[in-house]
Amino acid sequence: MIVIGIGSNLPHREFGRPLDVGKAAISYIEQSGIRIAGLSPWYKTDPVGTRAQPSYVNAVVIVRTGLGPHALLKYLRATEALFGRKRSFINAPRTLDLDIIAYDALSIARGNLTIPHPRYHERAFVLRPLADIAPSWRDPQSGKSAETLLREISDQQQLSRIA
C-alpha cells in the first residue's frame, strides 16, 4: 500500500483556501494516472514546530501507481512546485505539502528519500487520517497499527475533523 500525506496552510491564488488546494491537488494527481484508492477525512491541525502560522488542513490518500518510489517523489515535488510550494525553511507555511508516508513494505534511506517517512509516527495529523481509512495498515518496521502508533504519541496534537 502506498500512502501519501497531504497538507496545506496557505491559500493559492487560483485554487483558493487550503482545503480547496488539497482537493485540487488530489484531482491533479488523479489526472496524471495515479489512482486514488482511498481518501481520509480532512482535518484542521495545529502547525508543527512553530505556532506563528495558520492552521493546516491535512488528509491521507492511498494510491496505486506504476511509479517507483524515487519517480513518485520526483512527481510529488513537481506537483508541490506547480501549486506554489516554496521551501524557505523547515516547517515553513506552504500552499501544498505531499509526503510519501509508506510505499508497500519498503524501507529506504537514500538521498532525499526516506520511507517510511521519518517522522510520521510522531504526527497525529498523519496517523489519525491513516487509521480512519486503513485500520489494518501496519508500519513495515515496527509492525504496529496506525491506531497503536497514534495512542503512543506523547504530545497529542489538536485535530478537528472538517465536515
CA angle, 158 as apex, 131 and 15 as ends, to 5°? 80
Catalytic-residue membership of 151: no
Summarised one tens digit per residue, pLDDT across range 3-17 is 999 999 999 999 999
pLDDT at 112 (0 to 100): 86
pLDDT (tens digit, 9 = 90+) per residue, 118-147? 888 889 999 999 999 998 899 988 999 999
C-alpha cell at 55: 492552521
97 is catalytic: yes
Residue of 13, 17, 51, 97 with catalytic role: 97
Question: Nearest Cα to 5, choosing from 78, 85, 101, 74?
Answer: 101
Cell, residue 16:
483558493
Note if 104 is an active site residue. no
pTM over 0.85: yes
- Classify strands 35-39 and 97-103 as parallel, antiparallel or unpaired: unpaired
Q: Residue 130: its pLDDT value, please?
A: 96
Q: Which domain holds residue 46?
A: 2-161
Counting the structural domains of the chain, the total is: 1
> In this structure, what CATH number is given to the domain that contains residue 113?
3.30.70.560
> For the segment 67-122, what is each residue's pLDDT rounded down to a tens digit?
999 999 999 999 999 988 776 666 667 889 999 999 999 988 888 898 988 888 88
pLDDT of res. 51: 63
pLDDT at 92: 67
Q: Which of 20, 46, 64, 85 is catalytic?
A: 85
Catalytic residue chosen out of the listed positions 64, 99, 119, 128: 99
pLDDT band at 66 (very low <50, low <70, confident <90, very high): very high
CB-count burial class (<10 Å; 0-12, 13-18, 19+) for 124: buried
Q: What is the pLDDT of residues 22-52, one digit of tens each?
A: 999 999 999 998 999 999 999 999 887 766 8
Among residues 35, 51, 77, 94, the one annotated as catalytic is 94
